[in-house]
């Protein structure tokens, strides 16, 4: 029973120990008092009050509660120490600040609310800053002072000024003051360092240049070009074992190891470097260069900044060299891919586009870039070749003509085009060339072109190999890296996709051209007493087959039915509907060629279609000098007579929308010289900079156009080309008929523009 009571009594300790983990010793103490009270009272309800067993259990409980309180205090103390260490670390990170004003904001953020609700710094009786609330007037403290019942603390900053803290919650104690003294020491160091850097910039510039830039590659050279200081980072960048090896080099010896160019590829001379320009008394803005190590083939993008120092009558240049290779390469690759994407998307002439892509790659990515495609029956055709020097391009083409790729070669272009993996040859020594090329003349030609590092990357769309990109570094000392290899493979995928799309478009364009041609008459029949011309202009390149159509069909009694229309939509469906309408009109002309009857019949046929098939159509019946006109949703024909232009025929609802429609006609007696223009809305809807071309402009141009039908079409088309803004436009069909009044003239089909 005693053991059970002992265990039961010690259970009162568990809440205290659990709460101790939170680090709040006051809460643990309060809970321990409650636990002791319960354990004490339990002696009465368990009927062993005052016994040795009761006292023993109370003693154990007291010891356990004290242990829990101590543990909570230790945990809380550790948490406070961690928080304090974090504050010290945050302040310590500011030690690199170069100006006092650079310290204010991060220092305030580190101290409030971590150690105070309000913090302020007074330097030389002047307030540097106050943060978190209202601070008292500036005052100096010679020693740490607790004021306002511990709610305000002043800590001296070792001769610089005073650091003040204020709290609105728990007052500060002596332990807090001790920590704040340590913190003030860190703040003093930060402010002193910032002041020191600021002062040294004006009074000891050379020392500041050397010490302030040690994190980057730093060199200092005198007015003769002799390097007098280099940090370890500079030694690594320059390929030297130590800074001492850098300072031992003769002027110009360090730069001679590198091929140095500007971003545009122009070479950089030794005297163009910022430090050399400064000591020569010339302005020296920062300079971004591409430097290729001749020994390792590695390429760097280096941003060099120089500061002029005057010391004891001599000029020195402090060069801070920042390696920006990663960011610059990423920027250039993104820019390159964006430009390539624009090129690939802007034209369906993929051969011309691939040539532009190759030219973009030179000299930024490689000295040579070639693109080969697999053509019919496996034939390899080089469609693009780029180099900075045109003479070398001709040399390479001649070499290709004399020594075409071996289709059975186990490596290189042919192997990749047969489905092999991409190849990267980081370095091609001359001995390897001698082993691979046995023909002395060919070997000499290859050496003249140069071949130091090579990549051959397939252009694949799915499982199909469409071609390959070949990139060669020869003139420069640069070698291709794994990053270059991965980048070019991404480029090859994009190029392959563009080629595949262009070839698909070409195939579709051939089909579309054939289909479109089948929807227009090969020639128009002869109309005695009439002259005429017709034209058709397809819409923007890449659009599907349009639905504009026209024709002239014979009717009984020597009459002719002229019709011109526009089917809504594009593609195969529109072509099928166009064919249906044309054949329906031709059939209707055999029975009743009157325009209204033709429109009525075609409308009933279209209404019976399973899907809505709207069509606009104008129908004209020519009976010698008499012309009868009816229109269904179509722009009315324009009649030019004696220098004036008027519209012919009544308007009607478009075909295929509502069944049971009838259409009105208008008959006009023509005079010799009268000209009639039939056109689709693609003419008047041609977009300009601000508005559409419109029927008014068309009437004005027709009024001033020549007499000949072909001349009229040429004048209208020239006006449309001049007016058009952008490439977006609809198909345009026009038919011009001129009544001559005799039987000599005939209508002829003018080729489409």
Whether omega before 113 lies within 30 degrees of 0, making that bond cis, reads yes
Q: Residue 227 is encoded by which pair of tokens?
A: 């390097």
Task: Look at 494 and 391; give whichever has higher pLDDT.
Answer: 494
CATH number at 668 reads: 3.60.40.10
Final residue of a structural domain among 51, 66, 87: 87
Residue 456 has pLDDT above 90, yes or no: yes
Within this chain, do residues 634 and 692 fall inside the same structural domain, yes or no? yes
H runs (alpha helix) in 204-269:
205-212, 232-237, 243-248
pLDDT-derived band at 727, boundaries 50, 70, 90: low
Convert the pLDDT of each residue in 200-232 to its tens digit.
665 544 544 444 445 578 889 998 889 988 888
Q: Domain boundary at 27, 62, 87, which?
A: 87
User: Is 140 within the bounds of a domain?
Assistant: yes
Answer yes or no: is 599 within a domain.
yes
Query: Are 569 and 471 part of one and the same domain?
Result: no
Residue 607 has pLDDT above 50, yes or no: yes
Token duo for residue 479: 């070698």
Taking only the tens place, the pLDDT of each residue in 123-156 is: 877 888 888 888 888 888 888 888 888 889 998 8
pLDDT at 100 > cutoff 70: yes
pLDDT at 90 over 90: no
Provide the pLDDT for residue 748: 45
Is residue 745 very low, low, confident or very high in pLDDT (cuts 50, 70, 90)? very low
Question: 227, 316 in Cβ contact below 8 A?
Answer: no
Residue 746: pLDDT band by 50, 70, 90 thresholds? very low
The token pair that represents 424 in the structure block = 């990267």
Q: What pLDDT is attached to residue 507?
A: 72
- The 10 Å Cβ neighbour count of residue 548 is 28
Predicted pLDDT of residue 514: 66
Mean pLDDT of 230-252: 86
Residue 596 has pLDDT above 70, yes or no: yes
On whether both 469 and 599 belong to a single domain, the answer is no
The answer to whether residues 463 and 588 belong to one domain is: no
> For residue 65, what are its two tokens?
């509660």
Q: Is the pLDDT of residue 628 over 90?
A: yes
Residue 92 within any structural domain of the chain: no
Looking at the fold, whether 714 and 732 belong to one and the same domain comes out as yes
Is pLDDT at 524 greater than 80 in this prediction?
no
In the predicted structure, residue 562 carries a pLDDT above the cut 70: yes
pLDDT in tens, 245-277: 888 999 888 888 888 888 887 889 989 999 999
pLDDT at 235: 86
Same domain, 537 and 663: yes
Residue 255 belongs to a domain: yes
Residues 336 and 315 in one domain: no
In this structure, the answer to whether residues 357 and 496 fall within a common structural domain is yes
580 plus 446 within the same structural domain: no
591, with CB counted inside 10 A (0-12, 13-18, 19+), is exposed
Q: Does pLDDT of 605 surpass 70?
A: yes
Q: How confident is the model at residue 22 (pLDDT cuts 50, 70, 90)?
A: low
pLDDT for res 13? 66
Whole-number Å distance between alpha carbons of 322 and 342? 32
> What is the three-state SS of 627-694?
EEEEEECCCCCEEEECCEEEECCCCCCCECCCCCCCCCCEEEECCCCCEEEEECHHHHCCECCCCECH
CATH of residue 435's domain is: 3.30.450.40
Is residue 311 within 8 A of residue 325, CB to CB? The reply is no
- Where does residue 354 fall: left (phi above 0), alpha (psi -120 to 50 degrees), or beta otherwise? alpha
Of 521, 580, 510, nearest in space to 545 by CA:
510
Decide if pLDDT at 72 tops 90: no
- Domain total of the chain: 5
| Calpha distance 481→388 (Å, rounded) | 22
Residues 336 and 350 in one domain: yes
Residue 396: pLDDT band with limits 50, 70, 90: confident
> Which among 261, 295, 323 is the end of a domain?
323
Range in 155-164, 521-530, 591-600, 636-645 the model is least confident about: 521-530
**Domain around 50:** 2-87
48 occurs within a structural domain: yes
Please tell me whether residues 601 and 685 are part of one structural domain: yes
Q: Please indicate, yes or no, if residue 145 is contained in any of the structural domains.
A: yes
- Look at the block and give the residue holding tokens 């960011």: 327
- Give percent of the chain with pLDDT exceeding 70: 87
CATH number at 218 reads 3.30.450.20
Q: Is residue 748 part of a domain?
A: no
Q: Assess whether 265 and 312 both reside in one domain.
A: yes
Mean pLDDT of the chain: 82
Give yes or no for a contact between 667 and 627, defined as CB atoms under 8 angstroms apart: yes
Residue 751 covered by a domain:
no
Q: Where is mean pLDDT largest: 44-48, 190-194, 508-512?
A: 190-194
Is the pLDDT at 474 greater than 90, yes or no? no
pLDDT at 387 over 50: yes
């Amino acid at each position: 029973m005693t053991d059970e009571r002992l265990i039961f009594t010690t259970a009162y300790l568990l809440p205290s120990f659990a709460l101790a983990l939170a680090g709040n010793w006051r809460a643990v103490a309060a809970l321990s008092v409650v636990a002791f009270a319960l354990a004490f009272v339990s002696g009465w309800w368990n009927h062993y009050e005052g016994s040795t067993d009761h006292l023993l259990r109370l003693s154990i409980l007291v010891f356990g509660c004290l242990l829990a309180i101590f543990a909570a205090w230790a945990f809380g103390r550790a948490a406070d120490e961690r928080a304090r260490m974090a504050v010290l670390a945050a302040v310590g990170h500011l030690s690199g600040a170069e100006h006092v004003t650079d310290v204010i904001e991060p220092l305030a953020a580190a101290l409030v609310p971590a150690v105070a609700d309000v913090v302020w710094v007074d330097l030389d009786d002047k307030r540097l800053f106050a943060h978190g609330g209202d601070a008292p007037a500036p005052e100096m403290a010679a020693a740490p002072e607790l004021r306002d019942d511990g709610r305000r603390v002043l800590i001296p900053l070792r001769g610089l000024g005073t650091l003040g803290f204020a709290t609105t919650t728990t007052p500060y104690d002596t332990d807090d003051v001790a920590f704040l003294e340590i913190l003030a020491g860190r703040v003093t160091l930060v402010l002193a360092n910032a002041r020191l850097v600021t002062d040294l910039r004006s009074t000891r510039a050379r020392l500041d240049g050397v010490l302030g830039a040690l994190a980057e590659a730093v060199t200092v050279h005198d007015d003769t070009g002799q390097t007098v200081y280099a940090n370890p980072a500079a030694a690594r960048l320059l390929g030297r074992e130590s800074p001492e090896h850098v300072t031992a080099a003769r002027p110009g010896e360090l730069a001679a190891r590198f091929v140095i160019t500007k971003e545009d590829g122009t070479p950089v001379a030794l005297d163009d470097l910022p430090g050399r320009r400064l000591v020569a008394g010339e302005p020296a803005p920062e300079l971004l260069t591409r430097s290729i190590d001749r020994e390792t083939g590695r390429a760097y993008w280096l941003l060099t900044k120089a500061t002029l120092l005057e010391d004891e009558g001599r000029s020195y240049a402090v060069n801070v060299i920042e390696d920006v290779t990663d960011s610059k390469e990423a920027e250039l690759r993104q820019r390159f891919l964006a430009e390539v994407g624009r090129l690939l998307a802007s034209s369906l002439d993929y051969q011309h586009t691939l040539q532009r892509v190759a030219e973009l790659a030179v000299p930024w990515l490689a000295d040579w870039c070639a693109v080969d495609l697999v053509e019919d029956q496996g034939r390899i055709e080089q469609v693009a070749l780029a180099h900075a020097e045109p003479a070398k391009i001709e040399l390479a083409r001649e070499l290709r003509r004399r020594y075409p790729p071996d289709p059975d070669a186990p490596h290189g272009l042919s192997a990749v085009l047969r489905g092999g993996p991409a190849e990267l040859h980081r370095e091609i020594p001359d001995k390897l060339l001698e082993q691979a090329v046995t023909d002395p003349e060919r070997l000499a030609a290859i050496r003249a072109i140069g071949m130091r590092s090579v990549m051959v990357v397939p252009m694949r769309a799915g499982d199909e190999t469409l071609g390959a990109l070949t990139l060669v570094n020869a003139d420069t000392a640069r070698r291709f890296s794994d990053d270059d290899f991965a980048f070019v493979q991404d480029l090859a995928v994009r190029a392959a996709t563009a080629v595949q799309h262009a070839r698909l478009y070409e195939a579709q364009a051939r089909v579309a051209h054939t289909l479109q041609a089948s929807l227009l008459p090969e020639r128009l029949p002869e109309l005695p007493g009439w002259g005429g011309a017709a034209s058709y202009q397809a819409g923007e390149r890449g659009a599907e087959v349009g639905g504009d159509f026209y024709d002239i069909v014979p009717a009984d009694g020597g009459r002719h039915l002229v019709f011109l229309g526009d089917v809504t939509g594009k593609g195969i469906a529109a072509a099928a509907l166009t064919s249906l309408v044309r054949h329906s009109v031709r059939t209707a002309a055999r029975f009743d060629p009157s325009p209204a009857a033709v429109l009525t019949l075609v409308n009933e046929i279209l209404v019976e279609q399973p899907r809505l098939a709207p069509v606009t159509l104008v129908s004209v019946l020519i009976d010698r000098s008499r012309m009868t006109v009816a229109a269904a949703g179509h722009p009315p024909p324009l009649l030019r007579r004696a220098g004036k232009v008027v519209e012919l025929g009544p308007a009607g609802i478009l075909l295929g929308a509502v069944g049971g429609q009838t259409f009105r006609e208008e008959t006009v007696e023509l005079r010799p010289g009268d000209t009639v223009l039939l056109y689709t809305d693609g003419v008047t809807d041609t977009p300009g900079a601000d508005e559409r071309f419109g029927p008014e402009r068309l009437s004005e141009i027709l009024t001033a156009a020549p007499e000949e039908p072909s001349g009229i079409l040429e004048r209208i088309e020239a006006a449309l080309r001049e007016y058009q803004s952008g490439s977006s436009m609809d198909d345009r069909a026009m038919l011009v008929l001129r009544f001559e009044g005799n039987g000599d003239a005939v209508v002829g089909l003018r080729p489409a523009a």
